[in-house]
Structure 1
Amino acid sequence: MRNIADLPLHGGHVPHWLAQKMRKLTRLVLILAVEEYGTKGLLERLSDPIWFQAFNNVIGMDWDSSGSTTVTAGMIKDALWKEELGVKAAGGKGKKSRATPEELRTIAELYELDPEPYVRTSRLVAKVDTVALQTGYQLYHHVFFLDEEGNWAVIQQGMNERERMARRFHWFETENFTLDPHKAISGLKREFALNTVSKDSKEYQKTLLDVVQENPVKIERELEGLKAIAKGYRPLVYYKPRDVDEGSILRRYESLGRFELNKRALEFARELSVNNYEEFLLLKGLGPSTLRALSLVLELVYDVHPSWKDPVTHPPDPFKFTYAVGGKDRVPFPIDKPAYDELISFLEELVSRHPEEKSLVRNVRKITKNWKFPEWEKRPT
């Protein structure tokens, strides 16, 4: 399942009075979700961008803001650490994301799990969405959810500074990190993306692993020749692959940034005889620029191509959930404080009741399932 929502960059902060209400409501929804679906069921829902966005809308965040990821994930992380629900979260925005490994070790110790597989997974999903899949977004937010049974989910977000748009990546318990690994990707669909983890990139991955076993000096020489071609020069000997529009390919790469080789990373790959794409992505020093350079060499020298398809599709929209209490930016209406307080009070009463008495929530869900919001009230904030 894949879904999409446009997430423009928003400034400002959540008012203190609203943040207090958000924390209370977030805690209550998480308790009810775990009671209803278990910890794994909660993780499955967090990895669904529509469910996650609906959660964000219910607690009153802007329905289309980049902050819907950072604020909502932060609220969820805080609530999970304060409650003993059998699931915790590590990481966060900016500097907090770099604390993920140590926080995962703390969670793993709490749940008597081996932390290293999860630390490795955290590094790998970040490398995939920074290096292996390139669409002009730089990661700045990474939250890793882990439950007591070892189930995990990841929500991370990148920002395109030029377009001031965000893209959110959702992961859930994949066993293959290099072939269509995402549970979903939420963001603005682009004309193309350097997608080396598509199922259509198997030959690309295999050839790349063969090429990086060569002397990095040779690869660098081939790259310099391609750079010269990009400037309009032609070497004395140039074997152009059949039916390849080199100008179009070069413009694609240039639109994503520079292509410069980190020869030390390639030396590591050669010394370690790296023979699978996961281990290659985890190499120290392997960044987006180096992979772009290698991909360019593969395309124009070896006639082997990655996928250029952006792995995002259009979804149903959870905008109707903004009608629960309103939105921080007054869409579709300002936060209704009395309604918010009444909702918190109702859910607090519900949480305290016997599980058999909670069928009311299921009935409300059935009643509202087919309700449609007035389309004209859906406007950018």
Structure 2
Amino acid sequence: MMRRGIAELPLHGGHVPRWLALRMKRLAELVIKLLVDEYGTQGVLERLADPVWFQALNNLIGMDWDSSGSTTVTAGIVKEVLSKEDLGIKAAGGKGAKSRKTPEELKQISRLYDLEAEEYIKTSRLVAKVDSVALQTGYQLYHHVFFVDQEGRWAIVQQGMNPQVKLARRFHWFSEKVESFTLEPHKGISGIKAEHALNTIARESKEYQKTLLDVVSESPTKIEREVKSVEALSKGYIPFYKPYEKREVLSILKRYESLGKIELNKRALELARELGVSSYDELLLIKGLGPSTLRALSLVLELVYDVHPSWKDPVTHPPDPFKFAYAVGGKDRVPFPVERGTYDDLISFLEKLLEKGKEEREVVKQVTKITKKWKFPEEEKRPT
């Protein structure tokens, strides 16, 4: 499971024992309180949206350093801490069925902070559509947590699972980073780069997006005929307007099929045409427009209109903050079993630190500089 010293995020079973979960919650609570006091709520959101910082927090509280649970457990603990404390930040959503409660929980948070709920619900839906439809790498979303502060800023951490290889990929968003939801909007993506990805949100996909909107404005029946003509291309039929070699068609088709079925949802296209969608954001939000339909449309754009999406995987951060696993150890005994005494000493130290003023904390900041250049023993870095 290792590549050049970098961990993947494999699917792990098991659970966090109660004695460890209680300590994780207390330690996470102390860390977040210190962060709010030092950097404000925006500073907390910015860090949650940082793949390396998020993974480091996971390691600090004692979770596995290289598992899919590093997202679900850590995000769940942070959400629980924020729900019990009045820190100016709340969270909605979670893993599986909990993610479907996001809209209702966002309404509750919006009432609490006097925000416009529908704006955040729309953002939640659009972000999920971007990472499941507009960006396709074989990962199916199953985890979505939406953090909101009292000023209306937000961060989103969501994760997908590739069921074939049983590996996870984590997507991070931060409101202050997003200029466009459909042009390189992520704060970061944690995972191992794939050989290719259907990436329709890369900056070089602007022409693709424009042409796609033009094609969708046409009759769904016409688009369906074009999909069938592409199928004919794969069987050797060569139309006069695009002299593709059969070998080339098959290689392009195979690349799309590696991501799943190619099926057109005509009802979704009819709805898009009726509504007269004028932006890629609006198109993605059309009910029924899923990954298979976008694959069909993209295939038509490539082989009929000679307009291409990007196939560059936008992963920014391979998960690797292994250094922080040395704080208290790891749940799966890597790099060593969690030491309860050390864990309790750390909690006690942070509790006392929280009581002190910012001036006194400066001393601690100076001490942390000592560890910045420390390297972990490479031989201890192994998958759990």
Q: Please state which band the TM-score falls in when normalised by the shorter chain.
A: over 0.9
CA distance in 1, matches of 2:358, 2:13: 41
Equivalence for 1:34: 36
2:190 aligned partner, one-letter code = S
Equivalence for 1:280: 283
Match of 1:372 among 360, 375, 379: 375
Equivalence for 1:179: 183
CA distance in 1, matches of 2:7, 2:282: 32
Query: CA shift at 1:353, angstroms?
Result: 2.2
Query: CA shift at 1:326, angstroms?
Result: 0.2
| Alignment of structure 1 residues 249-264 onto 2, 5 Å | 249-264=252-267
With over 3 angstroms needed to count, the CA separation of the structure-2 counterparts of 1:228 and 1:253, relative to structure 1, is: same
Query: CA shift at 1:225, angstroms?
Result: 1.8
Q: The residue matched to 1:140 in structure 2 has which SS?
A: strand
Query: CA shift at 1:275, angstroms?
Result: 1.1
Q: The residue matched to 1:89 in structure 2 has which SS?
A: strand
CA distance in 2, matches of 1:317, 1:270: 45
2:274 aligned partner, one-letter code = E
Equivalence for 2:3: none
* TM-score of the pair, normalised by structure 2: 0.95
CA distance in 1, matches of 2:182, 2:149: 24
Q: The residue matched to 1:35 in structure 2 has which SS?
A: helix
With over 3 angstroms needed to count, the CA separation of the structure-2 counterparts of 1:150 and 1:64, relative to structure 1, is: same
Query: CA shift at 1:364, angstroms?
Result: 2.7
Q: Per-residue displacement from partner, 1:230-261 (whole Å, max 9, x unpaired)?
A: 3x241665633699922221110010111101
CA distance in 1, matches of 2:246, 2:61: 53
Moved more, 239-248 or 365-374: 239-248
2:277 aligned partner, one-letter code = V
1:206 and 2:205 matched = no
| Alignment of structure 1 residues 91-130 onto 2, 5 Å | 91-130=93-132
CA distance in 2, matches of 1:352, 1:138: 44
| Alignment of structure 1 residues 204-243 onto 2, 5 Å | 204-230=208-234, 232-234=235-237, 239-240=242-243
| Alignment of structure 1 residues 226-375 onto 2, 5 Å | 226-230=230-234, 232-234=235-237, 239-240=242-243, 245-313=248-316, 317-375=320-378
Identity in percent: 69
Q: Is the 8 A contact 1:138 1:158 kept in 2?
A: yes
Q: Per-residue displacement from partner, 1:62-116 (whole Å, max 9, x unpaired)?
A: 0001000000000000001111110011000000000101111111110111111
CA distance in 2, matches of 1:116, 1:251: 40
Match of 1:196 among 192, 195, 200: 200
CA distance in 2, matches of 1:244, 1:37: 57
Q: Is the 8 A contact 2:8 2:191 kept in 1?
A: yes
1:373 aligned partner, one-letter code = F
Query: CA shift at 1:52, angstroms?
Result: 0.4
Q: Is the 8 A contact 1:47 1:153 kept in 2?
A: yes
Q: Is the 8 A contact 1:5 1:186 kept in 2?
A: no
Moved more, 245-254 or 61-70: 245-254
CA distance in 1, matches of 2:206, 2:239: 33
CA distance in 2, matches of 1:288, 1:375: 40
CA distance in 2, matches of 1:248, 1:268: 32
With over 3 angstroms needed to count, the CA separation of the structure-2 counterparts of 1:272 and 1:228, relative to structure 1, is: same
CA distance in 2, matches of 1:236, 1:52: 52
With over 3 angstroms needed to count, the CA separation of the structure-2 counterparts of 1:124 and 1:354, relative to structure 1, is: same
With over 3 angstroms needed to count, the CA separation of the structure-2 counterparts of 1:236 and 1:74, relative to structure 1, is: closer
Query: CA shift at 1:163, angstroms?
Result: 0.2
CA distance in 1, matches of 2:46, 2:367: 22
1:291 aligned partner, one-letter code = L
Q: Per-residue displacement from partner, 1:40-77 (whole Å, max 9, x unpaired)?
A: 01111111110000000000000001000000000000
Q: The residue matched to 2:283 in structure 1 has which SS?
A: helix
Q: Per-residue displacement from partner, 1:187-223 (whole Å, max 9, x unpaired)?
A: 1210000000000100000000000111100110110
Query: CA shift at 1:185, angstroms?
Result: 0.4
Query: CA shift at 1:314, angstroms?
Result: 5.0
1:208 aligned partner, one-letter code = L
Q: Is the 8 A contact 2:8 2:192 kept in 1?
A: yes
Moved over 4 A (4+): 235-238, 241-244
* TM-score of the pair, normalised by structure 1: 0.96
Q: Is the 8 A contact 1:155 1:170 kept in 2?
A: yes
Equivalent residues, number = 377
